[in-house]
Structure 1
Amino acid sequence: MSLYIYDPTVADELSRARGVGRYLQILRAALPEATFTASVKQIPTNAAFLNPFFDPIKPPLSLTRIAKRQIAVIHDLIRLKYPHQFPLGLKGKLNVWLNRQALRYYDQIITDSETSKADIHKILKVDTRKISVIYPCLSSTLGETSSLAKVPPKPYVLYVGDATWNKNLVNIARAVKLAEIRCVFVGKTIERTVNKEWDSQYIHPEQQELYQFCREVKDDPLFIFPPSVSDEELTGLYQNAVCNLLLSRDEGFGFSFLEAAHFSTPSILADRPIFHEIAQDSALFVNPEDFGAIAQAIVKLVENNRLREELGKKARARSHDFSLDKMKKELKITLENS
């Protein structure tokens, strides 16, 4: 049976630079025989269809069955899990209702972690037997070549990611100030908004954390926001950083841990179930709401070379558990059995 995979980046160039593009790169490597398409109307009814970005907040691709077999990938349900921080509005609530109906036509759901599987079962009421956990791996383009163009003077720590509430940017900023160390922030949203002029009369609840972060870092030389970081430049930043910071209040996976681990760069992670699942014992864990504890962990890695090297080696070893071959094998099993 032929396999078709929905690819929004064909029509949306901006998506190529985001996590959407990264995950599709991985799928192309894992499933080279598949056909990638931006139009579900082109998918034959006797084919298998993989929707790699089933997002309950966005309008569904279809409210009827598209293909003989259908598999949805739900990466996380952070926005549904924390409704006060991510208020949906009427359109969002309608989309959630419509997507619950659309889910009935999917034979199997793939997600990135056991933590997300539990959330999907609890929030969307999906039978756990219909949910397969397939850990993602790294894109093959990361680490091929390295550039020092964006690397600041050492020592520095690194944050790679988005700027939503769950990313905990305010506590990261306060910890960086307390530790008195430079921090490089890589992320399109942060880059676009860090120098934005805010209307403080009304700030959407979803942007309160980002607004406070921008106030924390304004005109402070400790905070570095390089524009348009390429894979080569990101490789250089990971290779030369004291550590990677991933202090999210919650996540569906945690790509920056895996990316840093690939270069034997240790991570300071939030003491949350998702990160214990992904990293096991190969990172430093701290209370993400205690910026003093985060600062202490940063200083500890700056001053203790042996600990930094030890955690880097452990992280590198752990990263081998997230291989392309393993992902490819598990995807094929799921596709055949759905």
Structure 2
Amino acid sequence: MRLFFDARYIRTDFHDGISRYSAELAEAVQDAASASGVEVTFLVSEPGQIDLLPSGATTLGIHRPTSWREPFTARMLNRFAPDVVFSPMQTIGTMGRRFRLILTLHDTIYYRHRTPPRNLPAAVRVGWRLFHLSYVPQRVTLNAADIVATVSETSKRQFAAVRLTKRPVVVVPNAPQRLADLLPADAEEPGGAPWNIVYMGSFMGYKNVETLVRAMGLLPGRTLHLLSRITPERRRELAGLTPAGAQVVFHNGVSDAEYAALLADHAVLASTSLDEGYGLPLAEALALGVPVVASDLDIFHEVAGPGARYVDPQDPAAVADAVRALDDDAERCRVIDAGAAHIARFTWATSAQTLLDAVRELARRA
């Protein structure tokens, strides 16, 4: 049985969410494929992607996902006779395909917040906005597949609520990277009362970082670390909201190792998003033994379970109270232990097996 895995979304500079999902799932699928009787070929669009795939992986070079050739991808792949093609996105062309197809839609966040990723070409960004003005183009796209994959039960429910596809939806969850592996061998385990507050994520409006900044006025002696890249304009906006005497550090991008070190330094991971597609930083914090303070959102409950204290994202005082509550040794240990048990259910090996089960089922239908 031949599976083509679309690895063209793996970035060679730094991982974004789709890139990390693709790379981690690719490695786990490669590890499990032979035992499942599946032969895997990875589709790549630039040589550097091969270095980020498992050693010895079989690859096939084709065009970039943003190429004008993308609508005709299926006709090109037909020549290689795959049984099933899996894509971690939905752009792959389906016209004239002679293979089974699994497309992935991670969430519906861009229907509510239509700003496209800034790394896309200008013409693609325009198309992105037009595509998300209505559910109709997405319905047509997803219904051209045999199965639709997504990363959470929350997204699956959202798809059903708007009748986004007629196809079966399978949940192939995200899983946290092992940040503990990036810490020095002699590093202390995360512990002690939280002193720092760490935010990892973009600064788009719905992320509502403003509440975190305002909460710092109620948390004297602590530091808020804003880790991600930020535009000068957005930085000035948030700096202007910083209460007098509050400590807020703009890192403007960090490595994974720096991210791990900041979380391990007596921190709490915080997010006051008003909306969210998934929430991978929450999962990463829990896997490292770091407690979380997060908005009371369905997706955050799915990702973090009892490993977080949930707050009204519009209330800085509630955020400050939740952070201070974690100063109590018993409460902090309870949250950390519960979070570790919850996040242990999400592994790339489990997600890979779910995907391979779907691949085998599709192949049997052929």
Same fold (TM > 0.5): yes
**What is the match of residue 201 of structure 1?**
none
Alpha-carbon distance in 2 for matches of 1:131, 1:101? 15
Bigger RCO of structures 1 and 2 (CA < 8 A, at least 6 apart)? 1
Residues 1:259 and 2:284 aligned together: yes
1:119-158 paired onto structure 2 within 5 Å: 119-123=158-162, 125-127=164-166, 130-140=168-178, 142-146=179-183, 155-158=195-198
Quickly say closer, same or farther: Cα 1:322–1:105, change in 2 above 3 A: same
1:155-304 paired onto structure 2 within 5 Å: 155-180=195-220, 181-188=222-229, 190=230, 193=231, 196=232, 198=233, 212-217=237-242, 222-301=247-326, 303-304=327-328
Alpha-carbon distance in 1 for matches of 2:23, 2:325? 36
Residues 1:62 and 2:93 aligned together: yes
Quickly say closer, same or farther: Cα 1:31–1:304, change in 2 above 3 A: same
Matched letter for residue 109 of structure 1: V
Alpha-carbon distance in 2 for matches of 1:247, 1:171? 7
1:100-149 deviations in Å (ceiling 9; x for gaps): 3222221111111121112222335213x611122221235x3213158x
Q: TM-score by structure 2 length? A: 0.74
Q: How large is the RMSD of aligned CA atoms in angstroms?
A: 3.0
1:256-293 deviations in Å (ceiling 9; x for gaps): 11111111111011111112222222211111111211
**What is the match of residue 66 of structure 2?**
none
Which secondary structure state, in structure 2, belongs to the residue aligned with residue 5 of structure 1? strand
Alpha-carbon distance in 1 for matches of 2:338, 2:139? 41
Alpha-carbon distance in 2 for matches of 1:324, 1:89? 31
Q: TM-score by structure 1 length? A: 0.80
Q: Identity, % of aligned pairs?
A: 23
Quickly say closer, same or farther: Cα 1:125–1:20, change in 2 above 3 A: closer
> Any conservation in 2 of the 1:143–1:232 contact (CA below 8 Å)?
no
**What is the match of residue 108 of structure 2?**
77
Alpha-carbon distance in 1 for matches of 2:98, 2:215? 50
Match of 1:317 among 318, 341, 351: 341
Alpha-carbon distance in 1 for matches of 2:244, 2:83? 55
Alpha-carbon distance in 1 for matches of 2:25, 2:288? 22
Quickly say closer, same or farther: Cα 1:143–1:255, change in 2 above 3 A: same
> Any conservation in 1 of the 2:5–2:42 contact (CA below 8 Å)?
yes
Matched letter for residue 145 of structure 1: L
**What is the match of residue 17 of structure 2?**
19
**Higher radius of gyration, 1 or 2:** 2
> Any conservation in 2 of the 1:6–1:51 contact (CA below 8 Å)?
yes
Quickly say closer, same or farther: Cα 1:163–1:337, change in 2 above 3 A: farther
The count of residues paired between Structure 1 and Structure 2 equals 306
Alpha-carbon distance in 2 for matches of 1:18, 1:334? 26
Q: Unpaired runs of 5+ in structure 2?
A: 34-39, 46-61, 64-72, 117-123
Matched letter for residue 140 of structure 2: Q
